Structure 1
């Protein structure tokens, strides 16, 4: 485990020089999805993760100044990958790294400011747009989430399972329209996860240079 964490730190350090305004050092907390399953996160100007047959989420609220963000840019790296999976399959949808954007209607945002991810997942007004590196889907495919209330979550495939370093630029407003229809509302939360429990594999990955625009 120490060797894997050291690798994650190296990946994080490699991207730190170009880190964007979203700081992964402050305000981030891990949310376990199981008592017996947890990833290892390295928080800083970039976020490194190691997942060994496990799954969990690192979560942070978004400052009010960024609630109106319509797009995002970031850079991510995968040094060790899960095998290709079907991201539409509950219990078989491992992926290397995902970046989540959590939206609520504008009028509800002040009352949900600072809410934790577990409580938001149970709110029928919440919509979660997830960009994934993993699976075996073509780039840009919208995949309804097999978890939670129907219509609450959607995954957009960006990179198939594999290793490397990539930069991304996404149109949150347009992708929200494709996934859910209507206007996106306020962006109140961000999350990052790695998921390797179904394939009992190992992930080493990092994300940085995240800019909301």
Structure 2
């Protein structure tokens, strides 16, 4: 296996946002969330092929806390990050022809002042919705192939072909696309910027296929996982957020 510097291990773990398959990274089933009204309203519809929501931890990282909570009459996942990074994920599968829209919501009380999602050293965010996709891995660069090998060695899972994140950025204009400084297989689409809408519940409906094609410049493969993530490990700070249920709408509902 090609060895990479320690700083690359975080991107390997981050890219594991919502992978298919079994992980050897310590993972908890998050039973209070898996059995909650939030989970009942989130992910694939009942009867579809999907696993329970689980807490995905990263090697060498303090885990973020995820708990079920009611907030302003909504079923939510309350997230508290204290110099930590981990994610709540669901393994699923939606074929390319069936990719429709995704509905989700979040509330952020404060920004992470030192965060900058475009830099290696400060890549933290108060909220992320993470989508992982299959694709033709023969198109990986040598660096990305090495990262995928490292991810496989660390977790038992290869790096996804492509990872799309919806994020809140401190300063960049909504609609901005940010490529990870560590790998171009992780790209972030800014939905919110700055302080203007802090403390509010914000609701979104995004066309997954259209966003993927805009961000990556190609047609998507199957969607194989979804995750939520609030992280503050790089800035060694604190962050708080609430996430509402995540719902997939079929193509016919566009």
TM-score, with structure 1 as normaliser? 0.73
The 2-side partners of 1:67 and 1:193 are apart by 27
Matched residue, 2:102: 72
Q: Secondary structure at the match of 2:215?
A: helix
Alignment partner of 1:199 is 2:229: no
The 2-side partners of 1:66 and 1:60 are apart by 18
CA 1:118/1:97 → structure 2, altered by over 3 Å: closer, same or farther?
farther
CA 1:104/1:119 → structure 2, altered by over 3 Å: closer, same or farther?
farther
CA 1:53/1:212 → structure 2, altered by over 3 Å: closer, same or farther?
same
CA 1:66/1:20 → structure 2, altered by over 3 Å: closer, same or farther?
farther
The 1-side partners of 2:220 and 2:95 are apart by 16
Displacement of 1:105:
3.5
Alignment partner of 1:122 is 2:139: no
Indicate the RMSD between aligned Cα atoms, in angstroms.
3.0
Q: Deviations over 1:39-94 (max 9, x none)?
A: 00114753221001111122211255898223211111113431263211012121
Q: Deviations over 1:148-170 (max 9, x none)?
A: xx331100011125422211121
Q: Deviations over 1:13-60 (max 9, x none)?
A: xxx69x84438xx71222222424110011475322100111112221
Matched residue, 2:202: 166
The equivalent position to 1:40 in structure 2, one of 65, 70, 75, is 65
Alignment partner of 1:179 is 2:210: no
Max radius of gyration: which structure? 2
The equivalent position to 1:102 in structure 2, one of 132, 148, 173, is 132
Asked whether the 8 Å contact 2:78–2:241 carries over to 1, the reply is yes
Asked whether the 8 Å contact 1:88–1:143 carries over to 2, the reply is yes
> Which blocks of at least 5 consecutive residues in structure 1 are unaligned?
1-11, 107-115
TM-score, with structure 2 as normaliser? 0.62
Alignment partner of 1:140 is 2:170: no
Matches within 5 A, 1:6-17: none
Asked whether the 8 Å contact 2:93–2:222 carries over to 1, the reply is no
Q: Secondary structure at the match of 2:202?
A: strand
CA 1:143/1:57 → structure 2, altered by over 3 Å: closer, same or farther?
same
